[in-house]
Amino acid sequence: MTRAQLKKTMSIMKNQCMPKTGVTNDKVGQIEQGVFIEDHNVMCYVSCVYKAIQVVKNDKLDKDLVFKQVDALYPADIKAPVKAAISKCISIQEKYSDPCEGIFYATKCLFETDPANFIFP
């Protein structure tokens, strides 16, 4: 898939997760640009998106599942850097007892590690 196709596919998850978590586009519309609003509903929105793309297992991002989705969906030229960022950031979620918080801060790390290749609806 191209980056644009991937974004379009992920927008389906956005449309499912926004009403489930009670967030507005004002709060979540700029995550891809690095605007991470530290609000529990926003955190659960991020978690919801990852659950919808089936990369969450036992309320945590699962590295193997994430890698499978990256291999299946991401453009070839960014697969390796995205996987490197995931390898670096996935353990951050272990610091949090709340699954929404853990996934949120791991996601924030992904952006901070490699903003150029970060894709999020």
pTM of the model: 0.94
In single-letter form, the type of residue at position 14 comes to K
Domains: count for the chain: 1
Report which DSSP code applies to 5: H
In single-letter form, the type of residue at position 101 comes to E
- Domain ranges, residue 29: 3-114
Give the closest residue to 103 by CA, choosing from 86, 116, 118: 86
pLDDT digits (tens, 9 = 90+) for 64-80: 999 999 999 999 999 99
d(CA 112, CA 105): 10
Q: Is residue 15 part of a domain?
A: yes
- Quick count: other Cβ atoms within 10 Å of Cβ 45? 25
Q: Is residue 120 part of a domain?
A: no
Q: Residue 7: which CATH number?
A: 1.10.238.20
Residues of the chain above pLDDT 70, percent: 100
Q: Is residue 98 part of a domain?
A: yes
Q: Could you state, in chain order, the average pLDDT of each consecutive group of 10 residues for the chain (121 residues)?
A: 86 94 96 96 97 96 97 94 98 97 98 96 87
Q: Which residues are within 8 A (CB) of 20 and not within 5 positions of it... i.e. 6 or more apart?
A: 45, 48
Give the closest residue to 115 by CA, choosing from 76, 89, 96: 89
Q: Is residue 26 part of a domain?
A: yes
Q: Is residue 119 part of a domain?
A: no
**Residue entry with tokens 């951050």:** 92
Q: Is residue 121 part of a domain?
A: no
Q: Is residue 19 part of a domain?
A: yes
